[in-house]
């Protein structure tokens, strides 16, 4: 506004301003000054608004980055907690399986020991039974041998008696033969008396 006053107050100087470089500036100021100032104000406001928006965007970006970082930290902590819990559960299950395996091995070893003991006892009992049956069989065989021996002795005695009877039979047959030939007096007839 002051420049406008100067321009109207000194028109001759304005006409001479074409030859002086300062005057050229003044002329420009007169012609374009208000527009330039308005543009400068707009640029200032725009720069201020851009600075404010960039600052807000930067603050929003920082806030969101913190949220993402917090979320990632929370997720990582959850994952670590889950992994830790899963590791503990697997460790517990491994210990449980190991204990069960140890118990099963112990039970199997005990059953095996009982089986060995039972087999040993059965083998000993079978051996005793075999010895007892062998003894009984030997006694029975001895008894049968003794029976057969005594039967054979009796049969031998009977055969000797029979042999003696055969000699008597031979004597009798010899005597009958002689009588039949007429060498010996005849035998009394027993049938007549009967």
Find all residues with CB under 8 Å of 179, minimum gap 6, and list them.
185, 186, 187
The mean pLDDT of the chain is 80
Rounded CA gap, 181 and 184, in Å? 8
> Considering only CA atoms, which of 89, 37, 22 is closest in space to residue 13?
22
In-domain check, residue 42: yes
In-domain check, residue 59: yes
In-domain check, residue 9: yes
In-domain check, residue 183: no
pLDDT for residue 94: 92
Find all residues with CB under 8 Å of 18, minimum gap 6, and list them.
24, 27
In-domain check, residue 72: yes
- Domain around 61: 2-170
Is a pLDDT exceeding 80 seen at residue 15? no
Q: Mean pLDDT over residues 86-99, rounded?
A: 90
Distances in whole angstroms, Cα of residue 109 to Cα of each of 23, 77, 112, 125: 118, 46, 5, 24
In-domain check, residue 25: yes
First vs last Cα of the chain: how many Å apart?
Answer: 206
In-domain check, residue 149: yes
pLDDT for residue 96: 92
Rounded CA gap, 44 and 24, in Å? 26
Is a pLDDT exceeding 50 seen at residue 191? no
Please state the φ and ψ torsions of residue 123, each to the nearest 5 degrees. Answer: -65, -40
Report how many domains make up the chain.
1
Q: Mean pLDDT over residues 82-110, rounded?
A: 90
pLDDT band at 185 (very low <50, low <70, confident <90, very high): low
pLDDT in tens, 116-133: 989 898 888 988 898 998
pLDDT in tens, 148-167: 888 888 878 877 776 667 77
In-domain check, residue 33: yes
């Amino acid at each position: 506004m002051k420049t406008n006053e100067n321009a109207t107050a000194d028109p001759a100087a304005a006409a001479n301003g074409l030859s002086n470089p300062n005057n050229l500036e003044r002329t420009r100021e007169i012609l374009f000054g208000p527009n330039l100032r308005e543009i400068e104000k707009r640029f200032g406001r725009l720069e201020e608004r851009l600075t404010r928006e960039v600052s807000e965007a930067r603050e929003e970006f920082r806030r969101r980055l913190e949220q993402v970082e917090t979320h990632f930290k929370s997720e990582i902590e959850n994952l670590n907690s889950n992994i830790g819990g899963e590791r503990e559960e697997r460790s517990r299950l491994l210990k449980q399986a190991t204990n069960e395996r140890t118990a099963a091995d112990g039970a199997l070893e005990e059953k095996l020991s009982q089986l060995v003991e039972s087999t040993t006892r059965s083998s000993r009992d079978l051996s005793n039974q075999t010895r007892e049956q062998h003894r009984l069989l030997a006694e029975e065989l001895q008894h049968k041998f003794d029976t057969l021996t005594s039967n054979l002795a009796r049969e031998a005695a009977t055969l000797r008696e029979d042999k003696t009877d055969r000699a008597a039979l031979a004597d009798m047959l010899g005597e009958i033969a002689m009588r039949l030939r007429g060498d010996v007096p005849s035998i009394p007839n027993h049938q007549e008396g009967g």
